[in-house]
Amino acid sequence: MNDTIGVTPDMLARAVEATTDGVYITDKSGRILFANRAILDISGYTAEEFVGSSSSIFRSGLMSSEYYARLWNTVLSGEVWREVITNRRANGEIYEASQTISPVVDEAGDISMLIAVQRDISREHGLAQELRQTQTVVERLLEEKETLLKEVYHRVKNDLLLTRSLLEMQAAETDTDDSRVSLERAASRTGVLARIYELLQSQGEANRLPLSELMNQLVDALRISTIPDSVELTLTVDPIMVSSRTATAISMVAHELITNAVKYAFAGVESPRLALIARREGEHAVTIEVSDNGPGLPPRVIDDRQLGFGLTIASTLAAQHDGTLTFRNDGGAVVTVSVRLGS
């Protein structure tokens, strides 16, 4: 057989000696018959101390008697034992080892000896434990961060709601129509911001929002405060997650475009219709389009780009996010604003 595989007993002995895994052989009672250099390095014993001793020389006192009973029952029944064990070196140091013990049978089928292969995994075990501890710390810090963010969002939302109430009170006490309208629109804008922070506060993944939920909340708020019941409004939104910064810009843009349309587009229109579409443009941008069935934008806007306050706000927000504002007349006014998706 040796001639067939081309390996002599001397070659096998040298191979076992060269391996970095600890190898030792015992009889079936556990008395050590052979040890390679690696197992002596791992255990810290000399060859004279190790060979001839019982395999119990490794015992750390940290493994139960039931563990060793299972080990011996397994190998003496002819099966291979594989498990991690806690051992003790000659100097008393504890270490973790991955160990395989294989029974060897003679020609009569009886177990004649046991071959054990042992690998010191203390370093790996220690690194894994450090990693688990680090993960625990990181998870705790993330939980604290999320709690803090939610608290910040909650406080900002409350401050914005208070500001909106003050603006509404000021508008109610103002005699000038233009001033009242300006204060009411300022209160509405503040209310939009408050809703954004309310959404951020409720999100499990803080700082990210589903655009569809954001737009639905905005439209619901505007139906109460700004959009007359006579206006038929349709909403179409792509499934997009947006950052809090992008969410703020998109919400303010949509708010300005809708309130602008309600204010200017529907005078004399019998069945006013309004459509808001939010769609992804490639990987890095989202487009907000608001269209109506009114008389369209006047030449001063289309030709001379003389924008009112609402469109100026929308244009400024788009520019801050590397986007643009465009408009055209197509069976009514169509205003489109692109906003770059933030990280």
How far apart (Å, rounded) are the C-alpha atoms in residues 85 and 89?
Answer: 13
Q: Which of 228, 331, 236 lies closest to 288 in space, CA to CA?
A: 236
Q: Where are the domains of the chain?
A: 2-120, 228-343
How far apart (Å, rounded) are the C-alpha atoms in residues 254 and 248?
Answer: 10
- What integer pLDDT is reported at residue 4 of this predicted model? 45
pTM reported for the whole predicted model: 0.51
| CATH code 3.30.565.10 for 228-343 | yes
- What integer pLDDT is reported at residue 194 of this predicted model? 78
How far apart (Å, rounded) are the C-alpha atoms in residues 181 and 91?
Answer: 86
210 phi and psi angles, rounded to 5 deg: -75, 125
pLDDT at residue 314 tops 90: no
pLDDT tens digits for range 38-75 = 999 999 999 999 999 999 999 999 999 999 999 999 99
Q: What is the mean pLDDT of residues 123-144?
A: 73
pLDDT tens digits for range 249-258 = 888 888 888 8
pLDDT tens digits for range 100-131 = 999 999 888 899 999 999 999 887 776 767 77
Q: Burial of 310 by CB count in 10 Å (0-12 exposed, 13-18 middle, 19+ buried)?
A: buried
How far apart (Å, rounded) are the C-alpha atoms in residues 236 and 144?
Answer: 36
pLDDT at residue 165 tops 80: yes
Cβ 98 vs Cβ 123: under 8 Å: no
Cβ 244 vs Cβ 207: under 8 Å: yes
The CATH superfamily label for domain 2-120 reads: PAS domain (3.30.450.20)
Under DSSP, is residue 168 helix (H, G, I), strand (E, B) or coil?
Answer: helix
Mean confidence (pLDDT) of the chain: 84
Under DSSP, is residue 266 helix (H, G, I), strand (E, B) or coil?
Answer: coil
- What integer pLDDT is reported at residue 259 of this predicted model? 87
Q: Which of 46-60, 131-145, 231-245, 276-290 has the lowest mean pLDDT?
A: 131-145
Under DSSP, is residue 299 helix (H, G, I), strand (E, B) or coil?
Answer: helix
How far apart (Å, rounded) are the C-alpha atoms in residues 184 and 167?
Answer: 7
